[in-house]
Chain A
Amino acid sequence: DIQVTQSPSTLSASVGDRVTITCRASQSIVTWLAWFQVKPGNAPKLLIYKASNLQSGVPSRFSGSGSGTEFTLTISSLQPDDFATYYCQHYHNYPWTFGQGTRVESK
């Protein structure tokens, strides 16, 4: 199985900060990676797919990059609505796996 490892597990930031989250795959997944945002009591929301494609309706402050085994999710200017937990997920082959999550909290 391909494992995906996220870092950091928790990130403290302020509104307006640039935030970067990293996801590493245990072997190449080309660009078959998605990023999700999860808030308590809500279903996960797709932000980025195929490593760098912005899902329709997602603010442009979110961006993704990377290929192979190293990927990043960047929030260019953190907004109050962005405090949440973020997960990466590979869909290169089965079984799909998710990272352990990165909780973005207010500093």
Chain B
Amino acid sequence: QITLKESGPALVKPTQTLTLTCTLSGFSISTSEVGVAWIRQPPGKTLEWLALIYWDDDKYYNPSLQSRLTVTKDTSKNQVVLTMTNMDPVDTATYYCVHRLMGRPLDSWGQGTLVTVSS
């Protein structure tokens, strides 16, 4: 059974850097064609795709946020890490990590983690 679990701070201050970790179970980030995406949803708003990393370390970013985002993987721990710099209150959202296979949809979502940006 594929499961993903996000972890990280619930509260960050403006201008700080957010680091979120996604721990994977039931699959390996090293397996061919496997990808993990990050999606967020601000309160009352729609979903927004942030970044995607594949088993071969290929990476894709939302151009609107690319300068602030970095996605990496730790194959030894079977984890994916998202960092977002220069956090602002508008970045307050529930952040999800999601499994996909190349050419396939986002099929398994983590439970999400709410991050609030406030001084």
Q: How far is the CA of A20 from the CA of B32 in the complex (A)?
A: 37
Contact A95 B109 (CB under 8 A): no
Interface membership of chain B positions 43-62, coded 1 if the CB is closer than 8 angstroms to chain A and 0 otherwise: 00011110010000000101
Contact A95 B47 (CB under 8 A): no
Among B46, B104, B105, B110, the most chain A Cβ lie within 10 Å of the Cβ of: B105
Interface class of chain B by DSSP: loop
Interface class of chain A by DSSP: loop
| A94-B60, A99-B46, A100-B46 known; A49 vs B105 contact (CB < 8 Å) | yes
Interface membership of chain B positions 93-119, coded 1 if the CB is closer than 8 angstroms to chain A and 0 otherwise: 000100000001111011110000000
Interface membership of chain A positions 37-60, coded 1 if the CB is closer than 8 angstroms to chain B and 0 otherwise: 000000111100110000100000
Interface band, chain B = 20 to 34
| A43-B96, A43-B111, A43-B112 known; A91 vs B105 contact (CB < 8 Å) | yes
Contact B105 A46 (CB under 8 A): yes
Interface membership of chain A positions 68-98, coded 1 if the CB is closer than 8 angstroms to chain B and 0 otherwise: 0000000000000000000101010011111
Instruction: Determine if A34 is an interface residue (Cβ-Cβ < 8 Å).
Output: yes
CB distance from A22 to the nearest CB of B (A): 16
Q: How far is the CA of A43 from the CA of B104 in the complex (A)?
A: 18
Contact A46 B63 (CB under 8 A): no
Q: How far is the CA of A36 from the CA of B109 in the complex (A)?
A: 11
Contact A55 B106 (CB under 8 A): no
Interface band, chain A = 20 to 34
CB distance from A65 to the nearest CB of B (A): 16
Q: How far is the CA of A1 from the CA of B62 in the complex (A)?
A: 10
**Chain A residues, Cβ within 8 Å of B106:** 34, 36, 44, 46, 89, 91
CB distance from B6 to the nearest CB of A (A): 10
**Chain B residues, Cβ within 8 Å of A36:** 47, 106
B49 touches which of A49, A55, A95, A100 (Cβ 8 Å): A95
Question: Could you write out 13 A-B pairs with CB less than 8 Å apart?
Answer: A34-B106, A43-B111, A44-B39, A46-B105, A49-B104, A50-B105, A89-B106, A94-B62, A95-B63, A95-B64, A97-B49, A98-B47, A100-B46
